[in-house]
Amino acid sequence: MHATGILYPRPSESRETLSLDGIWKFAIANRSEQNKGFEEKWYQAALQHCAVKVIDMPVPSSYNDITQDSDIRDHIGWAWYHRDFFVPRTWKSQRVNIRFGSVNYFAIVWINGVEVTSHSGGYLPFDVEVTDHLKFGHPNFITVAVNNTLTPWTIPQDFFNYAGIHRPVILSATPKTYIDDITINTTSVSDSEGTVSYSVELGGSKIAAYSVIAEVYDSRDRLVAQSKGLTGEIRVTNPNLWWPRGMNESVGYLYTLKGDVYRLPFGIRFIQWNSTGVYLNGKSVYFKGFGRHEDASLRGRGLDLVTLTKDYNLMRWIEANSFRTSHYPYSEELMDLADQQGFLVIDEVPAVGLDNFDDDLLEAHKQALKELIQRDKNRPAVVMWSIGNEPQSQKQVSAHYFERVSNYTRSLDLARPVTMVLAQSYASDLAAQFLDVICINRYFGWYSDTGHSELITYQMVKEVTAWHDKHLKPVLVTEYGAGALAGLHTDPPVVWTEDYQVVLMEQNFKAFDQLREMGFLIGEMIWNFADFATPQEYFRPTGCMKGVFTRDRQSKFAAHFLRRRYAQLFC
């Protein structure tokens, strides 16, 4: 049976995992010989034995910044990965699956020379059963061809085109009949009882003969409720609700749903929204946070647990409560910590700067949304779906396009509001009418009226008010900011200095305070958490410098200034 679930592989009494992360062999296909690897069948043997220059490459990581070679850094086209691995003999009676956390952008996977799967779209996981292709108790090899070419029909990106195997590669063994997917939703909450609905999808053989006992454990591993069957409702008495940081003393409380035998963390919480606000467990939410990137020196967009953990420490230090996964879904390892530490997440699909709006793009967009929601539907931290960033939403054709994308998102999940991040003017935009929450990016005093900080407060108040008045929906400012080179100062402040970055923030803060009083601004997210790599551009000195932290996570003056504000803002 075909698997639809994409549950993260978690070892248990009945499941085992084997990581294929490590140093792989790597080669790029020259610009003039893009098809050479296919013609010469590089997937049929070790890459080292093929007529191509082979180097070592860590997985997970982007390949771009690992060497001294600008052809590799700027490579567009096919790149090849290869490694040997061993599968335990004891796995022979099991169902074995291989799962990639993300490969950017298009991937073809061969095991022992046989193609087993392909996937289009970076940033989201894919998996496939490989039991029949493996040699148990013997050496095996895997080849992955990766292509990072973007076209008007891919779901594109507007920043550095990092590529490679970005997230973990995991082999996992489950019983032949196994839990393929779990969906959990909070259906009602009162002081004395929380009700969650659950449904379990089975995969594999002899499904009919199989039944599931779903057990719920609290954070101290005590059994607090249970139910029998593939679907049902579970009632938890005196529930500990999942709260984000700053709204309750209890933060990020997670229960675990255990079914034979897979353990899924979840939270009990509910979201509501209306024309002026978003509410969590009945309390109005104010987002104080960041636009971010998965970006670190050398690793590029590859999963890096050191940077990831440090980033959470910095976000807690600065007293943020939220972030947007600009401009693509972040790793599951990162999302787990948002659930645990109580950060609110606006979960964004990798649709940046869309402008052609034809049916092929629509299909790719819907597919990415489907995979995103499939992956993150059970996460309490995810409180909104963002269906894109800065599309050309003034184009007439975009209206029907976004109507369909918004409705499609709602057909997959009605429990969370749908938003999109808009950059067109409120007068010309045609997409906001289909959203529940309006997010806008505005660079007053930077991209417009550069250096004129005195105009910022007036312009921001006017702008946010106009969006709200036109649509009667809550508004969130998802990007504002200024580039600052760490250590550069002038007084009076001019652009690119740390001083100007702070002045620009101060003027925006005045606007946000006025707008909060008016009652429909639901949050502020500065662009950006940290400096990050971009393509070479004359207005970006080695990258985007709008971080309040540098790329190696040292604070600029802006970080201290922002911390003072976030610490005072009650949500």
Query: How many Å separate Cα 539 from the centre of its chain?
Result: 27
Integer Cα distance of 20 and 258 in angstroms: 27
Question: If you compute the radius of gyration of the chain from its CA atoms, what whole number of angstroms results?
Answer: 24
Q: Which of 102, 325, 378, 389: binder of ligand GCB (CB under 6 A)?
A: 389
Alpha-carbon dihedral sign for residues 101, 104, 105, 106:
negative
Interface with ligand GCB includes 158 (CB under 6 A)?
A: yes
Interface with ligand GCB includes 429 (CB under 6 A)?
A: no
Q: At what angle do helices 557-568 and 498-518 cross, to 10 degrees?
A: 20
CB nearer to ligand GCB: give 81 or 159: 159
CB nearer to ligand GCB: give 148 or 174: 148
- Measured in Å, how far apart are the chain's first and last C-alpha atoms? 47
Interface with ligand GCB includes 524 (CB under 6 A)?
A: no
* Shortest distance in whole angstroms from residue 466 CB to ligand GCB: 19
Tell me how crowded residue 251 is: count the other CB atoms within 10 A of its CB. Answer: 16
388 token code pair: 């894109």
Residues between 550 and 569 that touch ligand GCB (CB under 6 A)? none
CB nearer to ligand GCB: give 393 or 441: 441
C-beta separation of 502 from 558 below 8 A = yes
Amino acid at 556: K
255 token code pair: 């229960």
Residues between 6 and 25 that touch ligand GCB (CB under 6 A)? none
CB neighbour list of residue 312: distance below 8 Å, 6 or more residues apart:
337, 341, 343
C-beta separation of 179 from 1 below 8 A = no
Interface with ligand GCB includes 546 (CB under 6 A)?
A: yes
Q: Closest residue to ligand GCB, Cβ-based?
A: 441
Q: Kindly state the DSSP code that residue 92 receives in the 8-state scheme.
A: G
* Shortest distance in whole angstroms from residue 527 CB to ligand GCB: 6
Strands, sheet with 169-174, edge to edge from the N-terminal-most edge strand:
16-19, 169-174, 95-100, 126-129
Strands 231-237 and 193-204: antiparallel
Amino acid at 497: T
Integer Cα distance of 246 and 280 in angstroms: 12
Interface with ligand GCB includes 129 (CB under 6 A)?
A: no
Phi, psi (deg, nearest 5) at residue 562:
-70, -35
Interface with ligand GCB includes 442 (CB under 6 A)?
A: no
CB nearer to ligand GCB: give 26 or 159: 159
* Shortest distance in whole angstroms from residue 500 CB to ligand GCB: 15
The 349-388 site mask, x for binding ligand GCB (CB under 6 A), equals ----------------------------------------
CB nearer to ligand GCB: give 378 or 389: 389
C-beta separation of 92 from 173 below 8 A = no
CB nearer to ligand GCB: give 164 or 291: 291
Q: Which of 227, 281, 441, 497: binder of ligand GCB (CB under 6 A)?
A: 441
CB nearer to ligand GCB: give 339 or 479: 479
Amino acid at 37: G
Q: Is 489 helix (H, G, I), strand (E, B) or coil?
A: coil
* Shortest distance in whole angstroms from residue 394 CB to ligand GCB: 15
Q: Give strand ranges (E) for 66-158.
A: 78-86, 95-100, 103-104, 106-111, 114-120, 126-129, 139-147
Q: Which of 390, 429, 436, 463: binder of ligand GCB (CB under 6 A)?
A: 390
* Shortest distance in whole angstroms from residue 375 CB to ligand GCB: 22
Interface with ligand GCB includes 260 (CB under 6 A)?
A: no
Name the nearest CA neighbour of 516 among 478, 476, 481, 479. Answer: 476
Integer Cα distance of 306 and 455 in angstroms: 40
Query: How many Å separate Cα 229 from the centre of its chain?
Result: 32
Interface with ligand GCB includes 453 (CB under 6 A)?
A: no
Name the nearest CA neighbour of 164 among 71, 345, 54, 26. Answer: 26
User: Which residues are part of the catalytic machinery?
Assistant: 390
CB neighbour list of residue 338: distance below 8 Å, 6 or more residues apart:
323, 344, 345, 379, 381
* Shortest distance in whole angstroms from residue 277 CB to ligand GCB: 24
Interface with ligand GCB includes 541 (CB under 6 A)?
A: no
Q: Which of 295, 304, 479, 524: binder of ligand GCB (CB under 6 A)?
A: 479
CB nearer to ligand GCB: give 269 or 546: 546
Using left for φ > 0, alpha for ψ between -120 and 50, and beta otherwise, residue 208 falls in alpha
CB neighbour list of residue 84: distance below 8 Å, 6 or more residues apart:
46, 139, 140, 141
The 295-334 site mask, x for binding ligand GCB (CB under 6 A), equals --------------------------------x-------
The 75-114 site mask, x for binding ligand GCB (CB under 6 A), equals ----------------------------------------
Residues that bind ligand GCB in the complex, under the rule CB under 6 A: 158-159, 327, 389-390, 423, 441, 479, 527, 544, 546
